[in-house]
Amino acid sequence: MTMDDNKLTFDKLTSDLTHHIRINKGFLIWMGFLTISLFICLYAYTIQLRTGLGVAGIRDYVTWGMYLANFVFFVAASLIGMLVSAVLGLIGMKWITPITRIAETIAVAFAAVAGLVIVSDMGRPERLAYVFIYGRPQSPILWDVTVITTYFVLSLLLLFLPLIADMAIIHRKVDNLPSWLKPVYKSLSLNFTDNPQQNKIINRSIRILLILLIPAALSIHTVTSWLFAVTSRAGWDSTVFGPYFVSGAFVAGSAAVIIAMFFFRKNYKLQDYLTDVHFNNMGKVLATVSLVYLYFNINEFLVPGYKLKRADAVHLQELFAGKDAILFWLIQVGGLLLPILFMLFRRFRKPLPIMLISVAVLIAAWFKRYLIVVPTQEHPFLPIQHVPQNFMHYSPTLIETLITIAPFIMVLIIITLISKFFPVIPLHDKKKKKGIDHIKFD
């Protein structure tokens, strides 16, 4: 390659991956919509702050409702950063490189907001600091706080480190940037000049982070599953809850990444970078983790279903044929079995079909958390008597629903901002792959 060719390829690459970094009408409308929606939801939260958790449908028996299901879902979705970057990356899958930043963005967004979701479930949110002041290490909540914070910091670093080189390229080579963004990129680039020494430090740091990320990610969802599994209630009292939750998290996260890939590809015109091959491969990943999840589902329902201990029998009866049966079978068939079947065929792993399948899987994933959290509490060991009708069966309220939607809006805002102001595809990595080894920074 001659120097000129080099320059040409590099310019096209840079422009392809950074042309979306500008404030346009579409972005403003989208952000305006998100912001207004968020404020409506936050207003609902102020009502809850004033009048108490009673504005939600939760009561003394079903004491954990949608907020907690939402929390589990958010922790689950954040796990994907670890699967794509760490697991697939460390075993040497080259095709995942353009997807890593998308996965890390999703991980950071969901992990950051998961903490807020759990605050919305607290009766006394103003006492949040008590968890740190009076924290008791025996409580799984302390473990959860510790590992989620750790995972969030690791994910944030893993998002940031590969960005350093990209920032250096952008602030030197891209001219049509909003003027106020230039100094931001410059300071974020930390004086990176692409010399071998710097690259060595960054690459080594990333590798260490990737290795640390695996136990941290496994911990966050295993510990979250223990919030339930450490109790003796039917439906929660399970020894496979850790891997059951982790495999379920990979399903939700993979689906979220595929959906994000689809929209970035379309909106930011990345067809040359997120190709059918990537969708095909992510489809295979989703099919694989879904099969693992199916395996744990069979364990989780068949074993207690075979014995039918009294409390388990009531619980399973409600799920299989009782009042939760329609939702349960929609989730298991529509969100797990059918997607697996479809994904076995190549034509369903094309961008559009696999995106639609992912949407179904992701919706099912949320309702699956709902079914894990709620029905168990509707039939405790001792009968529910002498209480109002709304204590016996949980039905979410409008305010509760709005407060549950708020975190999704926050995640969308975070993902939108990160993807808008930084290249969605790692630029520096791509440059190397194209054989452009060194571009002189002038």
Interaction site with another protein (CB under 8 A): 51-54, 58-61, 63-64, 121-125, 127-128, 130-131, 134-136, 138-142, 227-228, 230-233, 377, 380-391
Q: Which is nearer to another protein, 118 or 286 (CB)?
A: 118
Please state the closest distance from residue 373 (CB atom) to another protein, in A. 9
Q: How far apart are CA 277 and CA 191, in angstroms?
A: 36
Q: Specify the residue, 54 or 178, whose C-beta has the smaller distance to another protein.
A: 54
113, 125, 134, 242 from 117: Cα distances, Å: 6, 11, 21, 21
Q: How many angstroms separate the CA atoms of 306 and 85, rounded? A: 39
Please identify, using beta-carbon distances, which residue of 235 and 243 lies nearer to another protein. Answer: 235
Q: Which is nearer to another protein, 46 or 179 (CB)?
A: 46
CB of 235 to another protein, least distance (A): 12
Q: How far is the CB of 221 from another protein (least distance, A)?
A: 18
Residue 135 CB, nearest distance to another protein (Å)?
A: 6
Q: Which amino acid is at 239?
A: T
What does the buried/exposed string (b/e) look like for 112-139 if buried means 16 or more CB atoms within 10 Å of the residue's CB?
A: bbbbebbebbeeeeeeeeeeeeeeeeee
Minimum CB separation of residue 227 from another protein in Å reads 7
CB closer to another protein out of 384 and 417: 384
DSSP secondary structure string for all residues of 137-203: TTSHHHHHHHHHHHHHHHHHHHHHHHHHHHHHHHHHH--SS-TTHHHHHHHHTTT----HHHHHHHH
Q: 414 vs 102, 104, 318, 360, CA distance in Å? A: 12, 12, 38, 23
d(CA 251, CA 1): 43
Nearest distance, CB of residue 117 and another protein, angstroms: 13
When the beta carbons of 35 and 51 are compared against another protein, the nearer one is 51
